[in-house]
Structure 1
Amino acid sequence: MFTGLIEDVGSVRRLERAGGAARLTTATKIPLDSIALGDSVAVNGACLTVVAKGGGELTFDASPETLERTTLGTLGTGAPVNLERALRLGDRLGGHIVTGHVDFIADVSERREVAGNIVFGFRIPGQFARYLVAKGSVTIDGISLTVNTVTDSGFSVNIIPHTAAMTTLNGMKPGGRVNIETDILGKYVERLLAFGSTGQKEGGLSLELLAKSGFL
């Protein structure tokens, strides 16, 4: 579990293919004594397991599923990556609940400056638009952000100077591709609406169902 608050912008040292999988090594300024082998770290929003560390580097194994669903397999040597260690019990939840499970890849369609901020537009597969709402949360390459506007084929966000300076978004341009994780709360609500109170896929929502599901 993560918050979407980036701790370090590292860089890719190596991406070694092995069949359909890969081993990714990144440079980082995060103290390595704070990370154990087997720990989870979000790399551009994808939850990966640390399999080796040392010399200012972290190494992760990436499965075929991860490479297919994210942009990690396209990263070249020196490419910047957003890094975040897993949330610890008692940490402040400054962003929002992020699982590190990427839903889809979006294309950057627009970048423009507005009063010192950067407004980005993204093209997305239409079936995912229902998980995005204006002023709701979204994770872009591991960064917790607030949605500005939503259409049937895309959405936009506003990036303040601090966020741009502390993440990979500062160098993002139209034509780039990013990992998107939508808010998990919307997925649970959709699931509850689809199955209703009987557990069968019939639709409908009630106060009783919300209570049984732990929302009340």
Structure 2
Amino acid sequence: MFTGIVEELGKVKTIKNSNSSCRIEISAEKILSDIHLGDSIAVNGICLTVTDFTKGSFSADIMHESLKRSAISKVKQGDLLNLERAMALNGRFGGHIVSGHIDGVGKIIDIYRDDIAIWFEIKAGSNILKYVVEKGSIAIDGISLTVAELKKESFKVSCIPHTIKSTVLYTKTLGDEVNLENDLLGKYVERLLTYKDENTIESKIDEDFLKLHGF
């Protein structure tokens, strides 16, 4: 698990592509201070496993599922990436619960300044937007952000200068794609409410029942 608080920006050192997967090497500093083989690192919000590391970089394998669901397939040598180590149990929980499992990709369709803040409007599919709520949390390229405005086909976030300069957001332009992870709570609630099998007992509580009893 992660918090969506980016620890540092890493730089893509090498990418080796195969038929439907790739191996990426990323230069870093801070996160390497206590790195171990098998550690989980969120790379632009994608939970990757450390398969090798040196004094100045670490490597990870990216499978077809991650390439298909995220924008990592468009990353090239020299690109900057958001990095976060897995959440420590003795640390402060500054963001929200982020699993590192990307739900889909959004596209930046507007960027504008509002005094010190920078607003990003991101277009996303209904599979993403159905879990988005105004003032709720969403992870964008692994950054824990608050939804400031929700529209029919997009949503907006407003970022303070610290967030911009400390993450890959300062490199983003119109048309760029970003990795999106919805808040886990909405997905679990939907599953519990819609799951049915042969042992499921149909609830007798409906709108008419609630009205009849004064609700």
- Count of matched residue positions in the alignment of Structure 1 and Structure 2: 205
Contact kept? 1:193, 1:204, Cα under 8 Å: no
Partner of 2:59: 59
Deviations 1:14-57 (CA, angstroms, capped at 9, x unpaired): 11012211001111112524110000000000000000100310
Partner of 2:132: 132
Shift of 1:203: 7.4
Cα RMSD (Å) of the superposition?
A: 1.9
Closer/same/farther in 2, CA of residues 18 and 155 from structure 1, 3 Å limit: same
Shift of 1:173: 1.1
Partner of 2:209: none
Closer/same/farther in 2, CA of residues 104 and 118 from structure 1, 3 Å limit: same
Deviations 1:62-107 (CA, angstroms, capped at 9, x unpaired): 0011111111111111101000000111221110000000000000
Closer/same/farther in 2, CA of residues 114 and 88 from structure 1, 3 Å limit: same
1:90 and 2:57 matched:
no
| 2: CA distance, partners of 1:10 / 1:154 | 29
Contact kept? 2:44, 2:81, Cα under 8 Å: yes
Greater alpha carbon shift after TM alignment, 37-46 vs 183-192: 183-192
Partner of 1:188: 188
Query: Aligned residues: percent identity?
Result: 40
Could you say what secondary structure the match of 1:131 adopts? coil
Partner of 2:42: 42
Q: 1:102-113 counterparts in 2 under 5 A? A: 102-113=102-113
| 1: CA distance, partners of 2:108 / 2:201 | 36
Structure number with larger C-alpha Rg: 2
Aligned structure 1 segments of 4 or more residues deviating by more than 3 angstroms: 198-206
2:162 counterpart letter in structure 1: H
Structure 1: 5+ residue stretches without partners? 207-216
Structure 2: 5+ residue stretches without partners? 207-215
State the TM-score, normalized to the length of structure 1. Answer: 0.90
Greater alpha carbon shift after TM alignment, 93-102 vs 122-131: 122-131
| 1: CA distance, partners of 2:203 / 2:81 | 41
State the TM-score, normalized to the length of structure 2. Answer: 0.90
Contact kept? 1:194, 1:201, Cα under 8 Å: no
| 2: CA distance, partners of 1:121 / 1:81 | 20
Contact kept? 2:31, 2:85, Cα under 8 Å: no
